[in-house]
Amino acid sequence: MRAFEYFAPQQLADVIHTLSTAGGNARVCAGGTDILGRLKDGVDTPDKLVCLKTLPEMRYVRESNDGVRIGALTTLSTIEEDPIIRKSFPLLVEALYVTAAPQIRNQATMGGSICQRPRCWYLRGPFDCLRKGGAKCFAVDGENKYHAILGGHLCYIVHPSDSATALVALNASAKIQGSKGEKTVPLEKFFVGPEVNILKENILEDDEILTEIFIPTPSAGARGAFSKSRERQSYDFALASAAVQCTMKNGVCAEARVVLGGVAPIPWRSIEAEEELKGKKLDPKTIERAAAAAVRKAKPMTQNIYKVDLTRQLLSKSLSQIMV
Amino acid sequence: MIDDEKTQKPIPPGQDQEYEESEVNIEGRRVTVRTRKVPPLPDWTKTEIVGQPVPRVDGVDKVTGRAKYTSDVQLPHMLYAIAVRSELPHARIKNISIEKALAHPGVHAVLLPKDVERYIMGNPFAGTLPLLTLEPKYTGEEIAVVAAETELQAEDAARLIQVDYEPLPFVLDPEVSMTDKSPVKFFPEGNFTGGGFGQRKIGQPSVHTRGDLDVGFKEADHIFEETFRTEPQQHACMEVHGTTASWDGDHLTVWESTQGVFGVQEEISRVFTLPMNDVRVIGTHMGGGFGSKGGAGKQTMLAVLMARRTGRPVKMVLSRHEDFMGVYRPASIQHYKVGVKNDGRLTAIEMKSVNAVGAYMSGSMWGNSSPMTQQMYACANVRTEDRAVFTNTPPPGAMRGPSNVQNAWGLEQLMDLIAHKLNMDPIELRMRNDVKVDQVTHQPYHSKGLAECFKLGAEKFHWDEKRLRRNDPASTKKYGVGMASQIWGGGGGPPATAIVKINQDGSINLLTGAADIGTGTRTVMSQICAEELGVAVDRIHVTNADTETTPYTLPSYGSITLASSGPAVRSAANDAKRQLLDLAAGSLGVKPEELSSKDGFIFVTAQPDKRMKFEAAAGAMPERTLVGRGYRGPNPKGQSLNAFGAQFCEVEIDIHSGEVKVLKFVAAHDSGRVINPHTFASQVKGGITMGTGYALSERRLIDKNTGVPVTASLLEYRPPTSLDAPVDIEVYSVDVPYTANNIGAKGVGEPPLIATAPAIANAVYHATGVRVKSNPITPEKIIDGLKSLGGRT
């Protein structure tokens, strides 16, 4: 690990100030489950590390009449065990339950989970790849078993966050604090694909941090499910995952949000699958059509063809759970 | 360590009648050693302490962090050493600039290849390795070493050392390396040699042959041709490789995370031409070896040299990342052609294996995956060919059940496949090919409890019932069961010496050179000592694995520790007991042979109330200390000593996600007498956990285009965590009597891993009809397999 300057500010304003004066060479550390690995592996070498743990005000799950607000420093295990979340958002609870391992969920935070960097082994290894400002993506003709089948463009990382996949399905939004003030964006718009910016995965500027997630109250009849496939059952990032949130009225799917994880550089909203579901009776035929639609535009690489079937099947699994 | 030069020397005829020759089987390699004849001790008929689930004697030290490991050693003025490693899989180094590193704060010295070239590790039989090189042959090979006052300074300095590489062509795939298309020529005679322990010659495979294959295949009613593949497996020990070296004048002390302090002492002594009494190696506590720490590592020699150069103690403990660029179980490709009669009897087996063994000869010993094929099943016509193929990857080494683990993946799946084809119970097929004689040595097995393992395991698992269960076609969860069996050495043997000291207060010091690599050696040796002396375990303090204070024993490899050092410990305790009984006989007014020692008392066997306390007898010792010596005697002549076992498992498969979940394991093992049911069960559960990783998740991958490893972390390599260990594991010993040594025990270190992965693969087949012939069994392979079966999922 290379030496860096360590900050432990007491107020959010101090965090923003430090970030805005570091010229892009500062990183924030919440639970530390991602950034510490990056520092130790030498793939991130900031001059300054700003610890957020000393901030008192960002750990909460608050219910209001329009939804639930989750402070960015709330740990994943706290959210997973929260009675409000358990009651209203089983989809999120399911996703968190298969995220990492219990020890990591005790440490990792909501904000960190959403803002973690991809796990591409070229990004994380001694390879001068596009996402690090280099000349090429090593996955294209390399070892691409875990890489993207959707939304790839020059770079083929997959977004690693299970919670982000679930939250986009839940139509969540993100509150961002920066030196220019505060703003809120739909979480879906928070992430950016490589065609927009190949160097980062979200819209955060150097002086900005994510402070809060808002999840709107689901409409009556809403049902959600999350399915994920892992190579190692205790903790592993998704080979693929499928988050589904549908509003059911008399067995008919009135509204649907379908988001795929582990298969694209961002949590991948499948409008194609949603179109197949909306207004239809949720039966095996509809499920099959929606699942097929979700991967119709997939462009697998040499070693990840299996992800097409896997994604289709996981979406079927999630939809079948809603149907039951 | 045993090397050939030493072991092949015959005993001159007529010399010292106290010695004789004994065969020892280590990792499948049979060597003959000269050993002291030891007076036989009566078999333990009824035991009080041996056989009991005694808690680990060092358990509290370990869980409270008091136990000191190599990486815990902190010495005044100690420096930290870090290697600069090759960034390329094959290159010539044109220049190394060290000026900036030397100028960095806290840096004391840099060692370059020229500084260490006269020190060569290894030996002509095993192959040699340079400590540092100007022509790295794999990514991660050591080029230079830097030492500084803090770890961070050393890391920074290592980065400041600039290495100019001239890239050279490289080859990773053994099947490419074997052909004319290989861009690298490792030797003029070819890119492969024989695998295993026999004479190896470049360009020629190692061959075992018996009978006539043509005759065998003609006799067959069915012929099966199958290819199985295994990935490399990394040891991923909880404690990484490491050394702390400290010179006091000419006396060197080395703390080493090792399976055998004496092998490390011998190698240091040889490489640096030091008298052995000036080389003290301490390895009391260590966090796992699994074969990777059988001898000294490069970091051992580099730390010793750096300590000499700087005049400071030097610690060189690898990072997890570096550890993952080192030793591993080699990959294998196994081609089988097998002839079978309708009744299940095997008529011919032809097996050709290709094993990727890195860029040095030293790896080729482990490039063999046929020992089980040669031994496990009765077959008159057999030919095996093992090719150890050179590649630009790190040198592999021994890993828990070397060769047999790879071999079992293919052979035990093949047996399952044949059983399904013949519509026969896989146990029945195995029993029809049972054999009582070791077909390689032509020696009978001293004891073979495999049939008992099948019987007990099948009964506890409810095999007959579960095997016939059918899945609900509508369900997306499929269930299946599978089993596999195994053979391993584990008979142990000489040399091993132990010392038992009785102090005047009746407390006891047991001195044994044996390593406790997490297996519970200290505990079981205490039990053996306590049993023989007739005292409680807590009266004994064990000192182990310290070349200066404990006597020689072989390293903890080949599952030999218990069966090698255990008998020596019993002999030493018996020697001490006899001396104490001699003294007590005078006090009690009887002859020594009339006395027994039990429960802390020495008493007249025929009149138990005529007795004295053990410590009272000790208190009367004129020398105040009594020393008992014990030696490991020879193994019985003309017999093969092997441990057997069978494992049964049940799996659940989600056909949507392709995920495999192990629901249950039943393991039945034949390891002779169980000294401690706790440590026995721990060994078996640990083996099954490791085998579960091998079967389902572990994969070491080197990027095909750059030759750089991309799975050099616990995250990417995916070893099982405690949450992945199957929850429901039942462990049984079949308790078949074993009399080849005075404690009646065989080893169980390696056996429990051998059958695990094929048992899982067989269960996966039973559940889904998908035969996964390459490990790990990933969701990808399940999904692709189901698809090619045409099943809609």
Q: What are B420-435's pLDDT values in tens digits?
A: 999 999 999 999 999 9
Tokens 């389902």, residue located: B696
For residues B482 and B418, membership in a common domain is answered with: no
DSSP element (H, E) containing A222: strand A222-229
Residue A143 and residue B321: Cβ atoms within 8 Å? no
Please indicate, yes or no, if residue B304 is contained in any of the structural domains. Answer: yes
> Does the structure show a pLDDT above 60 at B692?
yes
DSSP state, B362? G
What confidence category does residue B15 fall into, taking pLDDT thresholds of 50, 70 and 90?
A: low
Mean pLDDT of A134-149: 97
Calpha distance B559→B690 (Å, rounded): 16
Q: What residues of B are in contact with residue A314 (Cβ under 8 Å)?
A: 656-657
State how far the alpha carbon of A199 is from the alpha carbons of A132, A195, A203, B102, in Å.
Answer: 6, 10, 11, 36
Domain boundary among A185, A216, A247: A216
Residues A259 and A314 occupy one common structural domain: yes
Residues 652-711 of B with CB under 8 A from A: 654-659, 661, 696-697, 701, 703-706, 708, 710-711
| B750 a catalytic residue | yes
The reported pLDDT for the residue numbered B793 is: 41
**Final residue belonging to a domain, choices A31, A57, A83:** A57
User: What average pLDDT score do residues B714-725 get?
Assistant: 94
Residue A156 inside a domain? The answer is: no
pLDDT attached to residue B2: 47
One domain for residues B185 and B290: no
- Reported as a pLDDT band with limits 50, 70 and 90, residue B512 is very high
Instruction: List the CATH number of the domain containing A14.
Output: 3.30.43.10
End-to-end CA distance of chain A: 51
Q: Indicate whether A65 and A209 sit together in one domain.
A: yes
- Mark whether B15 and B75 lie in a shared domain: no
Q: What is the pLDDT of residue B792?
A: 44
Domain containing A107 — which CATH number? 3.30.465.10
Q: Is pLDDT of B11 > 70?
A: no
| Mean pLDDT for chain B overall | 95
Give the one of B696, B716, B784 whose C-beta lies nearest to A306's C-beta.
B784
Nearest residue to B757 via CA among B627, B662, B671: B662
Does residue B14 have a pLDDT over 70?
Answer: no
Predicted confidence (pLDDT) at residue B771 exceeds the cutoff of 80: yes
> In this predicted structure, what is the pLDDT of residue A1?
86
CATH of the domain at A260: 3.30.390.50
Q: Sort out which chain B residues have CB atoms less than 8 A from A263's CB and list them.
A: none
Using one digit for the tens of pLDDT, what is the confidence trace for A194-204?
999 999 999 99
State whether A121 and B716 contact (CB < 8 Å): yes
Please name the member of A143, A233, A309 whose beta carbon is closest to the beta carbon of B659.
Answer: A233
Q: How far off is chain B from A317, nearest CA to CA, in Å?
A: 7
**Cα–Cα distance for residue pair B385/B353, rounded to 1 Å:** 6
d(CA B109, CA B90): 26
Task: Indicate if B588 and B668 belong to the same structural domain.
Answer: no
Looking at the predicted structure, is the pLDDT value of residue B122 above 90? no
Binned at pLDDT 50, 70 and 90, residue B198 comes out as confident
Task: Pick the residue of A306, A323, A324 with the most B CBs within 10 A to test the interface with B by mutation.
Answer: A306
**How many angstroms away from the CA of B483 is the closest CA of chain A?**
22
Residues B618 and B730 grouped into a single domain: no
- Please indicate, yes or no, whether residues B196 and B345 belong to a single structural domain of this protein: yes
Of A3, A143, A233, the CB nearest to B701: A143
Do B140 and B254 lie in one domain? The reply is yes
For residue B658, give the H/E element and its range: none
Asked if A232's CB is within 8 angstroms of B724's CB, the reply is yes
Task: Tell me how close the Cα of A68 comes to any Cα of chain B, in angstroms.
Answer: 31
pLDDT at res. B123: 73
pLDDT score for B13: 57
pLDDT of B335 > 50? The answer is yes
On the question of pLDDT at A278 being above 90, the answer is: yes
A234 to B720: CB separation less than 8 angstroms, yes or no: yes
The answer to whether the bond into B495 is cis (omega within 30° of 0) is yes
Does residue A111 sit within a domain? yes
Q: Is B718 on the interface with A (CB under 8 A)?
A: yes
Whether A143 and B710 lie within 8 Å, measured CB to CB: yes
Last residue of a domain, one of B631, B647, B665: B631
**Three-state secondary structure along B77-142?**
CCEEEEEEECCCCCEEEEEEECHHHHHCCCEEEEECHHHHCCCEEEECCCEEEECCCCCCCCCCCE
Do A78 and A170 belong together in one domain?
yes
pLDDT at B3 over 70: no
Based on the fold, state whether residues B613 and B540 are members of the same structural domain.
yes
- End residue of a domain, out of B317, B345, B375: B317
B87 neighbourhood in chain A, CB within 8 Å: 126
Do A168 and A212 sit in the same domain of this protein?
yes
Domain with A111 in it: 61-115+163-216
Whether residues B707 and B748 share a domain: the answer is yes
Percentage of chain B exceeding pLDDT 90: 92
Q: Answer yes or no: do A310 and B780 touch at CB < 8 A.
A: yes
- Find chain A residues with C-beta within 8 A of B697's C-beta: 231-233, 236
A314/B657 Cβ within 8 A: yes
The minimal CB distance from B708 to the residues A126, A145, A320 is found for A126
Q: In Å, how far is B148's CA from the nearest CA of chain A? A: 15
Residue B672 forms part of a structural domain = yes
Phi, psi of A225 (to 5 degrees): -150, 150
pLDDT digits (tens, 9 = 90+) for A54-73: 897 899 999 999 999 999 99
Return the CATH number at B615.
Answer: 3.30.365.10
CA distance readout (Å), A207 to A108, A212, B369: 22, 16, 58
Q: Which residue of B has its CA nearest to A306?
A: B780
- Report CB contact under 8 Å: A1, B778: no
Q: What is the CATH number of the domain that holds B104?
A: 3.90.1170.50
Please indicate if any CB of chain A lies within 8 Å of the CB of B612: no
pLDDT-derived band at B790, boundaries 50, 70, 90:
confident
From B175, B350, B750, B780, active-site residue:
B750
pLDDT at residue B12, rounded to an integer: 59
Kindly give the interhelix angle for A306-323 and B779-788, rounded to the nearest 10 degrees.
90
Inform me whether the pLDDT recorded for B683 exceeds 60.
Answer: yes
For residues A73 and A206, membership in a common domain is answered with yes
- Indicate if A226 and A272 belong to the same structural domain: yes
pLDDT at B1 > cutoff 50: no
A71 and A199 together in one domain: yes
**Which tens digits make up the pLDDT trace of A243-253?**
999 999 998 99
Residue B18's pLDDT is what? 84
pLDDT tens digits, one per residue of A149-160? 999 999 999 999
The phi and psi torsions of B528 (rounded to 5 degrees) equal -60, -45
> Each residue of A83-98: pLDDT tens digit?
999 999 999 999 999 9
3-state secondary structure of A49: strand
d(CA B246, CA B303): 9
pLDDT tens profile B49-64: 999 999 999 999 999 9
- Give the residue from A6, A28, A5, A25 showing the smallest Cα distance to A16: A28
pLDDT at B340 over 50: yes
Q: Residue B781 domain-assigned?
A: yes
Q: Is residue A18 part of a domain?
A: yes
Instruction: Look at chain A and report how many structural domains it folds into.
Output: 3
Distance from CA of A185 to the nearest CA of B (A): 33
| Mean model confidence pLDDT for chain A | 96
Residues A70 and A29 in one domain: no
Which chain A residues touch B720 with a CB distance below 8 Å?
232, 234
How far is CA B397 from each of CA A137, B374, B572, rounded to the nearest angstrom? Answer: 34, 22, 34
Looking at the 3D structure of chain B, how many domains does it have?
4
Query: Rounded distance, CA B406 to CA B328, Å?
Result: 12
CA distance linking residue A1 with residue A20, whole number of Å: 24
Domain of B341 in residue numbering reads as 169-232+331-435
Same domain? A209 vs A230: no
In total, the C-beta contacts within 8 angstroms joining chain A to chain B are 100
Any residues with CB less than 8 A from the CB of A33 and at least 6 apart, and which? Answer: A100, A104, A107, A108, A112, A116
- Same domain for B214 and B340, yes or no, is yes
Nearest-CA distance A73 → chain B (Å): 24
Residue B515 has pLDDT above 70, yes or no: yes
**Residues B191 and B47 occupy one common structural domain:** no
User: Taking 50 as the threshold, does the pLDDT of residue B403 lie above it?
Assistant: yes
Residues B281 and B338 in one domain: no
Interface probe for A, chosen from B715, B781, B782 (most Cβ of A below 10 Å), is B715
- Residues B273 and B119: their CA atoms lie apart, in Å, by 10
Whether residues A244 and A306 fall in one domain: yes
- Written as six digits, the tokens of B263 are 């092998």
Q: Do B723 and A145 touch (CB under 8 A)?
A: no
- Reported as a single tens digit per residue, the pLDDT across B530-578 is 999 999 999 999 999 999 999 999 999 999 999 999 999 999 999 999 9
Q: Which pLDDT score is estimated for B127?
A: 80
Residue B5: predicted pLDDT: 45
Name the amino acid, one letter, at A246.
Answer: C
Q: Are A202 and A65 within one domain?
A: yes
User: DSSP labels for B405-423?
Assistant: HHHHHHHHHHHHHHHHHTT
C-beta atoms of A141 and B705 within 8 A: yes
Instruction: Specify whether A243 is located in the same domain as A172.
Output: no
